[in-house]
Amino acid sequence: MSSDDQDYQRVEAQACPMSTCAVPAGSPCRTTNGKVAVQYHTARFRLVPRLAKVLNVPTPAVRWPGSVWSELPRPVELGGEPVGHVRIGYARASTTRQSLDSQLDALSGAGVIRVFSEKISTRATRRPELEAAVKLAREIRSSAVRVTLVVHEHKRLGRGIELAALAEELKANDIGLEFLAGELQGSHDPSGVVFTVLAALSGMEREYIRDRTLEGHESARKRGKTIGGASVTDQDMLSMAPHLREQGVSLRDVAKRLVITTGKKKGQHPSPATVLRMLREYGEQTAAPEPTVPDGVYQPTVQARNDPSEQGRRWS
């Protein structure tokens, strides 16, 4: 059994001689029921001298063994112009509650050969399905076939720096990009200026969303509404926590001694962060106001009081 990752490309460089398969060059072997075979037929991989004595050559995951077989673009000689065109789709939703149906329907109608989809936030540093889509696009492009990554709209790919990095990767591998909807609908050359525009638009959009959120919070506060989670503190906590801290008890131990008496977390202990916030708020509420000094009355600093040259002065 061979273990070279490039063996499948060497095998697919020629058509399969098996009469029951007879697939052209560039495609994996197929079974009699029209599925992608889990391994290449012996008569085919033995046409490659270095594979003539191995027992079998498995079909790589990139060819999706067991899936419905379809002919892939046939390879051309190295250095020639790209022949054929493969379209790979990608769909993404930010949360598990959002549906991908509309994106998947649009991609299905766009003639893609494979769709990668996932439900993951744009803030995630890694998106496995997008990475898999780009990897497959690279492998197909390395066979001298033109490849385009098809997406419903640019927001599905990412924002800001992440989108700029993706654009650089597509550009380096000569992979095209197409949007089915949105402001940038249409096909785009990876070497064009569109990727710079994408990064700028995405960054601006995130700032716009953030500004709208902050404006909403400020408007709610003016109306007396509370922003954030429900308070878990009560009068017993407010009296016990400062007392324990004055005795030198750590925040963690203070939290363990307090018990929430209301709400969904009833019976649980507050977190040390909650205790710290509670103590800060308590300190602000109980802080003694600074004494006011009548106009015209000299009020010395501590340093002035200790200055020998000022000892003869009477302090008010």
User: 221: which 2 tokens?
Assistant: 């506060």
pLDDT in tens, 99-145: 899 999 999 888 898 999 999 887 777 889 998 998 888 888 877 78
The answer on pLDDT for 39 being more than 80 is: yes
Average pLDDT, the chain: 77
Average pLDDT for 248-264? 84
First CA to last CA across the chain, in angstroms?
98
Cβ(149)–Cβ(170) below 8 Å: yes
pLDDT at residue 70 above 70? Answer: yes
Asked if 94 is an active-site residue, the reply is yes
Q: Is the pLDDT of residue 197 over 70?
A: no
The yes-or-no verdict on residue 78 having pLDDT over 50 is no
Euclidean distance between CA atoms 258 and 270, whole angstroms:
7
- The tokens for 278 are 């509670």
> Chain-centre distance of CA 221, in angstroms?
32
Most confident of 118-127, 182-191, 282-291: 118-127
Q: Between residues 153 and 223, which one has the greater pLDDT?
A: 153
pLDDT level of residue 84 (50, 70, 90 thresholds): confident
pLDDT, residue 315, reads 46
Instruction: Please tell me the predicted confidence (pLDDT) of residue 30.
Output: 95
Average pLDDT for 245-262? 85
For range 157-170, the mean pLDDT: 71
pLDDT tens-digit map of 288-304: 555 555 555 555 554 55
Q: Give the chain's largest Cα–Cα span.
A: 117
Q: Point out the least confidently predicted range of 18-22, 84-88, 284-288.
A: 284-288
Q: Which long-range contacts (CB under 8 A, 24 or more apart) does 260-269 make?
A: 260/232, 261/234, 261/236, 262/232, 262/234, 263/230, 263/232, 265/232
User: Which residues fall within 8 angstroms of residue 169, CB to CB, at 6 or more apart?
Assistant: 134
Active-site choice (94, 142, 231, 271): 94
216 falls in which pLDDT band (50, 70, 90)? confident
Overall average pLDDT of the 173-189 stretch: 84
Phi and psi dihedrals of 97, rounded to 5?
Answer: -80, -20
pTM exceeds 0.85, yes or no: no
